[in-house]
């Protein structure tokens, strides 16, 4: 597959590109950034795998060359958070960056699968969808907002809390809702019911809070030098690889397959979720197939416990505002 990384020279873009260079599913890795793409490309190109690497800057139709014939486009372009910032604070800068990249995808890679990493994901995914809709190339099965890091964190944090009793490798805690603060709803009652029920209320709330605000731990520790990059590259790669494997007909278990998606009525499970939650976009577990999202496991919404119901209510309320902001950014600038 030809895979394009937009924002390849960044904190996420570099390790993500490294992982993609190691993947047996990638034939051509195209690295695009507004700065330093050739440097990253030259470096990665010395790794002894058969993946062909090309590097592109905006000049000389670089974006067009990077995107043409791409099967998968990953977008970690834009600015990350500094201490004290929420993901929503990034909207002012990242919305325009993501819109312009989406316009280029619509023109040069209209059939590609698109993974949006740039924050705020709750708004940038609607931005990409609206751009693709306007260009009449929107395929809801092929646009995914990357929330995988929340799943990775949920598995890691409950494993750490159990002091090794639960191995994160065996865990698959679903995380639904969105990708910022209280919109992140980990479903420990489903992912690890026995251990979760053994926790008291204080421990339970602390665990949920750690997943919702896990990104802040990294932002604070980096003291202004950015947000999660290495764990994010790992998480983004897991989802990308899942999609690439499925495109090759390998449908193994769907760990890490949740993502922030448009609830299109043509996708099985979408109408139920839309009706129940009252939003057009949400993160839910998905079944991935050769063409992208095959179906959505919205039945999970009927299995969550009372406390998670309350968390989801708060999440959906905030999500509505985030989604509307993204949609109106495109509709308002028609």
What the block records as the tokens of 117 is 């990493």
Tell me how far, at minimum, the Cβ of 222 lies from ligand NAI, in Å.
9
CA dihedral 239, 98, 57, 30 (to 10 degrees): 20
Binding of residue 258 to ligand NAI (CB under 6 A) = no
Which segment (93-101, 152-160, 261-269, 279-287) binds ligand NAI by CB under 6 A?
A: 93-101
Query: Is 179 labeled as catalytic in the residue annotation?
Result: yes
Selected catalytic residue, list 46, 179, 248, 307: 179
**Residue 63 burial (10 A CB sphere; 0-12, 13-18, 19+):** buried
Which segment (113-121, 193-201, 263-271, 314-322) binds ligand NAI by CB under 6 A?
A: 113-121
CB atoms within 10 A of CB 270: 23
Binding of residue 110 to ligand NAI (CB under 6 A) = no
Binding of residue 33 to ligand NAI (CB under 6 A) = yes
Sign of the four-CA dihedral 318, 140, 293, 28: negative
**Residue 252 burial (10 A CB sphere; 0-12, 13-18, 19+):** exposed
Which segment (11-19, 159-167, 283-291, 298-306) binds ligand NAI by CB under 6 A?
A: 11-19
Binding of residue 240 to ligand NAI (CB under 6 A) = no
Binding of residue 1 to ligand NAI (CB under 6 A) = no
Binding of residue 4 to ligand NAI (CB under 6 A) = no
Long-range contacts, 242-245 (Cβ 8 Å, 24+): 242/288, 243/72, 243/113, 243/115, 243/144, 243/288, 243/292, 244/1, 244/3, 244/23, 244/25, 244/26, 244/72, 245/25
Which segment (26-34, 104-112, 155-163, 307-315) binds ligand NAI by CB under 6 A?
A: 26-34
What the block records as the tokens of 264 is 């299109």
CA distance 240 to 42: 23
Nearer to ligand NAI, 97 or 189 (CB): 97
Tell me how far, at minimum, the Cβ of 120 lies from ligand NAI, in Å.
8
Nearer to ligand NAI, 196 or 215 (CB): 215
Q: Which of 44, 51, 74, 97 binds ligand NAI (CB under 6 A)?
A: 97
Binding of residue 35 to ligand NAI (CB under 6 A) = yes
Nearer to ligand NAI, 107 or 251 (CB): 107
Site for ligand NAI in 291-320 (CB under 6 A): none
Nearer to ligand NAI, 10 or 177 (CB): 10
Nearer to ligand NAI, 221 or 290 (CB): 221
What the block records as the tokens of 185 is 């709803």
What the block records as the tokens of 263 is 């609830």
Q: Which neighbouring-strand residues pair with 55?
A: 31
Long-range contacts, 213-217 (Cβ 8 Å, 24+): 213/181, 214/149, 214/150, 214/153, 214/157, 215/81, 215/87, 215/149
Binding of residue 135 to ligand NAI (CB under 6 A) = no
Element (H, E) at 240: helix 230-247
Element (H, E) at 72: strand 72-75
Q: Which of 119, 122, 180, 286 binds ligand NAI (CB under 6 A)?
A: 119
- Per-residue x/- marks for ligand NAI, 169-208, CB under 6 A? ----------x-----------------------------
Binding of residue 90 to ligand NAI (CB under 6 A) = yes
CB atoms within 10 A of CB 225: 12
The site for ligand NAI, by CB under 6 A, has a size of 34
Q: What is the set of active-site residues? A: 179
Would you tell me which residues interact with ligand NAI (CB under 6 A)? 6-7, 9-13, 32-35, 76-81, 90, 94, 97, 100-101, 117-119, 121, 146, 149, 179, 226-229, 232
């Amino acid at each position: 597959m030809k895979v394009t990384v937009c924002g390849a020279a960044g904190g996420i873009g570099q390790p993500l590109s490294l992982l993609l260079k190691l993947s047996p599913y990638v034939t051509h890795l195209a690295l695009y950034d507004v700065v330093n793409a050739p440097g990253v490309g030259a470096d990665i190109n010395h790794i002894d795998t058969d993946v062909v690497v090309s590097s592109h800057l905006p000049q000389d139709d670089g974006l067009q060359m990077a995107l043409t014939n791409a099967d998968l486009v990953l977008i970690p372009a834009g600015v990350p958070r500094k201490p004290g910032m929420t993901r929503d604070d990034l909207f002012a800068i990242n919305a325009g960056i993501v819109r312009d990249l989406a316009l280029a995808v619509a023109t040069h890679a209209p059939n590609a699968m698109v993974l949006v990493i740039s924050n705020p994901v709750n708004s940038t995914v609607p931005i990409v969808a609206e751009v693709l809709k306007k260009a009449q190339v929107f395929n809801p099965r092929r646009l995914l907002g990357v929330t995988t890091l929340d799943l990775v964190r949920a598995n890691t944090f409950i494993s750490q809390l159990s002091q090794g009793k639960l191995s994160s490798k065996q865990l698959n805690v679903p995380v639904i809702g969105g990708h910022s603060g209280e919109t992140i709803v980990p479903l420990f009652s489903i992912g690890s019911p026995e251990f979760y029920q053994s926790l008291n209320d204080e421990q339970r709330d602390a665990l949920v809070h750690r997943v919702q605000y896990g990104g802040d731990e990294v932002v604070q520790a980096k003291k202004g030098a950015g947000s999660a990059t290495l764990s994010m590259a790992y998480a983004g790669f897991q989802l990308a690889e899942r999609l690439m494997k499925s495109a090759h007909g390998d449908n193994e278990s769907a760990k890490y397959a949740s993502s922030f998606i448009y609830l299109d009525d043509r996708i099985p499970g979408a109408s139920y979720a839309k009706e129940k939650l009252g939003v057009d976009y949400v993160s839910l577990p998905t079944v991935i197939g050769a063409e992208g999202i095959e179906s959505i496991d919205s039945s999970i919404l009927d299995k969550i416990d009372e406390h998670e119901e309350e968390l989801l209510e708060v999440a959906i309320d905030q999500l509505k505002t985030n989604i509307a902001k993204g949609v109106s950014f495109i509709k308002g600038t028609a």
